[in-house]
């Protein structure tokens, strides 16, 4: 079955440290993958997306993600985390059956220590 | 560009009443809109997909008569929670897609519904 998994529910990092949030997908073909960020009580903001081509994708706010077909992964990275990055991060997968609906992972809550 | 607006941002209603949430695409025509529900500290669960001028397609387990979705125009979809109960309290988020512009969907800011 098609799905997206975020293994880490909570992650805490120190400000200035590097960050990697994991995302794994299960799909029979090359998927369309997204990373969104959500601040408390807010909607979703798209950080970056992968459709095809270069497997290293640059996004907003200094984030990047790398698509690795061999590992079925699309991990989000940032070299130096800022306190304002504390939020909930969702990996999403475009399920191309029917109306091309987005299916979300469970999310990873990021806390940043000063 | 590509702005999706939800209204209201939050609403409190009494048990047994109905509440309508609007989702508007402000600068593009949304042929497809999606409605999600999000419980506290949980992920977004797709409730239904609506296409302009046709009936919504509901995900398994979502009550069609409870959550009425109307997509009467290319810029507006509405979600009506009928006979609301406290367990319907949640964060509802819509997203909209313009197929002519690609497959990316744009999200509204969400609506916090509290049923008392």
- Provide the shortest C-alpha distance from residue A2 to chain B (in Å): 15
Mean pLDDT for chain B overall: 91
pLDDT of amino acid B45:
93
Minimum distance, in Å, between the CA of residue B6 and any CA atom of chain A: 10
Nearest to A42 among B32, B95, B110 (CB): B110
The per-residue b/e assignment along A57-86, b for 16 or more CB within 10 angstroms, e otherwise, is bebeeebbbbbeeeeebbbbebeebeeebb
Q: How far is the alpha carbon of A36 from chain B, nearest alpha carbon, in Å?
A: 10
Residues of B in contact with A98 (CB under 8 A): 49, 57
B1 confidence band (pLDDT: 50, 70, 90): low
| Token reading at A5 | 């998994």
Band of residue B101 on the pLDDT scale cut at 50, 70, 90:
low
Per the CB < 8 A criterion, the answer to whether A35 and A91 are in contact is yes
CA neighbours closer than 13 Å in the CB half-sphere of residue A23: 32
pLDDT on residue A113 = 94
Give the DSSP letter of residue A31. Answer: P
Q: What is the DSSP letter of B83?
A: S
The CA distance from A89 to A81, in Å, is: 14
Rg (CA), chain A: 14
- pLDDT tens per residue across span B44-98: 999 999 888 888 999 999 999 999 999 888 999 999 999 999 999 999 999 998 7
Check A94 against B103: CB less than 8 A apart: yes
Contacting residues of B for A9, CB less than 8 Å apart = none
At A3 the pLDDT is 85
The neighbour count for residue B89, using CB atoms within 10 Å, is: 17
Q: Which residues of chain A have pLDDT under 70?
A: 96-99
pLDDT at B54: 84
Interface A:B, Cβ pairs < 8 A: 53
- For the residues B21-35, what does the mean pLDDT come to? 92
């Amino acid at each position: 079955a098609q799905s997206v998994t975020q293994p880490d529910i909570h992650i805490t990092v120190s400000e200035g440290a590097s960050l990697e949030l994991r995302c794994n997908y299960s799909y029979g073909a090359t998927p369309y993958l997204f990373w969104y960020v959500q601040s408390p009580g807010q909607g979703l903001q798209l950080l970056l997306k992968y459709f095809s081509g270069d497997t290293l994708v640059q996004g907003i706010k200094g984030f990047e993600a790398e698509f690795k077909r061999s590992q079925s992964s699309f991990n989000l990275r940032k070299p130096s985390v800022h306190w304002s990055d504390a939020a909930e991060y969702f990996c999403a997968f475009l399920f191309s059956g029917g109306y091309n609906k987005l299916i979300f992972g469970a999310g990873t809550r990021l806390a940043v220590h000063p | 560009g590509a702005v999706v607006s939800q209204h209201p941002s939050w609403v409190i209603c009494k048990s047994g009443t109905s509440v309508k949430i609007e989702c508007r695409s402000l600068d593009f025509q949304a042929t497809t809109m999606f409605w999600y529900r999000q419980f506290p500290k949980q992920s977004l669960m797709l409730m239904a997909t609506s296409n302009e001028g046709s009936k919504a397609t509901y995900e398994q387990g979502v009550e069609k008569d409870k959550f009425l979705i109307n997509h009467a125009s290319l810029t507006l979809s509405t979600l009506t929670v009928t006979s609301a109960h406290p367990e319907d309290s949640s964060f509802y988020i819509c997203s909209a897609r313009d197929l002519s512009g690609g497959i990316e969907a744009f999200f509204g800011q969400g609506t916090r519904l509290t049923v008392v």
